[in-house]
Amino acid sequence: MEGWRLIAGALVALSGIVLMLLTMAKVRERKGATGGDVAVAGSISLAVLVILVLLVLLVLPAVAVWTVVVVVGGTVTVMMLAS
**pTM, rounded to two decimals:** 0.88
- The least confident of 1-5, 55-59, 63-67 is 1-5
Phi, psi of 31 (to 5 degrees): -70, 130
If pLDDT is split at 50, 70 and 90, which confidence band does 34 have? confident
Domain extents for the chain?
3-82
Q: Are the C-beta atoms of 24 and 41 separated by less than 8 Å?
A: yes
Q: Please tell me the predicted confidence (pLDDT) of residue 35.
A: 86
- pLDDT tens string 11-32: 999 999 999 999 999 999 888 8
Residue 64 has pLDDT above 90, yes or no: yes
